[in-house]
Amino acid sequence: MSVSERPEGLHPDTLAVGFGYDPASAYGSVKPPIVLSSTFAYPSAAAAKDVHRAYFDGPAPERDAPFIYARLDHPNLQLLQKRLAVLDGAEDAAAFASGMAAISATFLAHLKPGETLLHTQPLYGGTHGLAYGPLAGLGITAVPIVDGLDEASVLAAAETALAQGPVGMIHVESPANPTAGIADIAMIARVAGIIAERQGRRPVISVDNTFLGSLLQRPLEHGADLVITSLTKYAAGHSDLLGGCLTGSLERVGPVRMLRTLLGTHMDPFTSWLLLRSLETFPLRNARANANAGAIAAFLRDHPKVESVTYLGFLEEGTPARAVYDRQCGGAGSTFSFRIRGGEREAFAMLDALKVFRMAVSLGGTESLICHSATTTHYLVPPEIRRTVGVDDGTLRISVGIEHPDDLVADLSRALDAIP
Ligand SMILES: *Cc1c(COP(=O)(O)O)cnc(C)c1O
């Protein structure tokens, strides 16, 4: 058997390049072709019936049936999903048109009216908007966990939720944006067990793993049921496409994929192919960006015009956050915030003096990005809430790319000098 079929013992670097694809399936082409067809021919009328029976009634219905129509499944999507599953150490994966498409389909498939959704905070803006807007309209109540590192705090939030209805899901975002706040996935999984004893059913635990990605954090190994990732960020890595992914057991992913067929939010063939291409260099890009980020974080921490840096690698020894970080994360990633001395005026002066960093939201691309959180990503968040989530007028978020680290440090140094 070749790398196309057997993941055991192989490193992510190797799996990212070849897993799931057999050149013999496509004229011997070393790279998978793009199959753009929206529909797939049946060899006979009886075969058509069999295909539909397999899709709707088979043991793993929507996953293992022959292709019917591209919204249900198509060759590039199937291959991409195999590769994403193996990188997350999951039985199954479903890819979507964006990260929010993955999050919304997961919530809609696993939550019912009258149920509650426990969640860590702060949440990604889109997730927050979904939970407190359309989901609230469907009779689903979102309940925040104050401190995802403290079991008593999680239990207190569970009590609040249980008083309003069964807990259908627990959604964890760790590390959080832009605070880099950490939640203890294993402890939250234990609390899910306690909730199960109370309500007779274990809530589904989903983890938004966008901020570290599958190479640095594997939530399924710590007790999560589902992992959601915006592929737009590190996995795609070139800031040129939108995509999302859900991984977990066939039992938990299957219903979400079935719903995806009805919502029509699958990933298209060309984007799936681009992602397969991106994944091949994911480990290389990740290693370089992480090393660059470490160097930049150290430079900023020691700079007199910088007040603080929320880089995960600087978590203090002996703190609960550090203990969970050491157990749960394989590295600090390459997106973090820092606060310069002063406010909006000083922040803007620095931003306008940068030449290598590009000013834009998003993260995880080959290029380094920077943005002023209060006036961009957190524009809609009221100032008092902004302060509680650690965003003030001097806060800047950077996503470090794969450029030469000396050029990035020199750019930041010059820009900090430009602050009057
Ligand atoms: C970007 C992001 C999302 C949403 O992903 P899209 O691909 O933009 O839909 C969700 N969660 C986190 C943490 C993100 O950074």
Q: Are residues 266 and 287 in the same domain?
A: no
64 pLDDT more than 80: no
Quickly state the pLDDT bin for 266 (edges 50, 70, 90): very high
In a domain, 243, yes or no: yes
Last residue of a domain, one of 263, 279, 295: 279
pLDDT of residue 315: 96
Compute, in angstroms, the gap from residue 283 CA to the centroid of ligand 1.
20
77-133 pLDDT, tens digit each: 999 999 999 999 999 999 999 999 999 999 999 999 999 999 999 899 899 999 999
In a domain, 268, yes or no: yes
- CATH code of residue 369: 3.90.1150.10
In a domain, 303, yes or no: yes
In a domain, 19, yes or no: no
Domain limits for position 347: 282-417
Task: Give the ligand 1 atom nearest the CA of 362.
Answer: 1
Cα torsion angle, 100, 102, 103, 109, sign:
positive
pLDDT of residue 58: 62
Last residue of a domain, one of 257, 279, 301: 279
Task: Give the ligand 1 atom nearest the CA of 243.
Answer: 7
In a domain, 68, yes or no: yes
Strand partners, 228: 208, 246
Give pairs for 415-419: CB < 8 Å, separation 24+: 415/350, 415/351, 415/353, 415/354, 415/357, 416/303, 416/305, 416/306, 416/340, 416/350, 418/349, 418/350, 418/352, 418/353, 419/305, 419/340, 419/342, 419/346, 419/349, 419/350
Is pLDDT larger for residue 122 or for residue 161?
161
Ligand 1 pocket (Cβ < 6 Å) reads 98-100, 124, 126, 173, 177, 208, 210-211, 230, 232-233, 242, 244
Q: Are residues 112 and 137 in the same domain?
A: yes
Q: Are residues 275 and 287 in the same domain?
A: no
In this structure, which residue's CA is closest to atom 11 in ligand 1? 124
306 pLDDT more than 80: yes
Model-level pTM?
Answer: 0.96
In a domain, 14, yes or no: no
Compute, in angstroms, the gap from residue 66 CA to the centroid of ligand 1.
31
CA separation for the pair 147, 153 (Å, rounded): 6
Compute, in angstroms, the gap from residue 37 CA to the centroid of ligand 1.
29
3 pLDDT more than 80: no
What are the catalytic residues? 71, 124, 208, 233
When computed from its CA atoms, the radius of gyration of the chain, rounded to whole angstroms, is 22
Compute, in angstroms, the gap from residue 33 CA to the centroid of ligand 1.
28
* Most informative mutation of 106, 233, 240 for ligand 1 (most atoms within 8 A of CB): 233
In this structure, which residue's CA is closest to atom 8 in ligand 1? 99
Q: Are residues 249 and 306 in the same domain?
A: no
Q: Are residues 345 and 249 in the same domain?
A: no
Q: Are residues 387 and 340 in the same domain?
A: yes
Q: How far is CA 350 from the centre of its chain?
A: 30
Quickly state the pLDDT bin for 1 (edges 50, 70, 90): very low
Mean pLDDT of 276-288: 97
pLDDT of residue 205: 98
Q: Domain tally for the chain? A: 2
223-251 pLDDT, tens digit each: 999 999 999 999 999 999 999 999 999 99
CA separation for the pair 98, 232 (Å, rounded): 7
pLDDT of residue 50: 85
Q: Which two tokens stand for residue 277?
A: 């291409």
Q: Are residues 333 and 207 in the same domain?
A: no
Q: Report the chain's mean pLDDT, rounded to a whole number.
A: 94
Element (H, E) at 185: helix 185-199
In a domain, 139, yes or no: yes
317 pLDDT more than 60: yes
In this structure, which residue's CA is closest to atom 7 in ligand 1? 99
pLDDT of residue 386: 83
Q: Are residues 248 and 313 in the same domain?
A: no
| CA distances from residue 361 to 177, 321, 343, 394, 395 in whole angstroms, order as listed | 12, 27, 19, 16, 14
Q: Are residues 84 and 207 in the same domain?
A: yes
Compute, in angstroms, the gap from residue 171 CA to the centroid of ligand 1.
14
Compute, in angstroms, the gap from residue 99 CA to the centroid of ligand 1.
5
* Most informative mutation of 107, 124, 397 for ligand 1 (most atoms within 8 A of CB): 124
373-406 pLDDT, tens digit each: 989 888 888 888 788 878 899 999 999 999 999 9
170 pLDDT more than 80: yes
Last residue of a domain, one of 233, 262, 279: 279
**Residue 3 CB neighbours (<10 A):** 15
Is pLDDT larger for residue 268 or for residue 387?
268
Task: Give the ligand 1 atom nearest the CA of 232.
Answer: 7
The 8-class DSSP code of residue 379 comes to T
Task: Give the ligand 1 atom nearest the CA of 101.
Answer: 9
Q: Which two tokens stand for residue 28?
A: 């011997």
51 pLDDT more than 90: no
Q: Are residues 293 and 305 in the same domain?
A: yes
Q: Are residues 256 and 325 in the same domain?
A: no
- CATH code of residue 108: 3.40.640.10
Q: Is 39 left (phi over 0), alpha (psi -120 to 50) or beta?
A: beta
Q: Are residues 271 and 347 in the same domain?
A: no
In a domain, 219, yes or no: yes
61 pLDDT more than 80: no
pLDDT of residue 62: 52
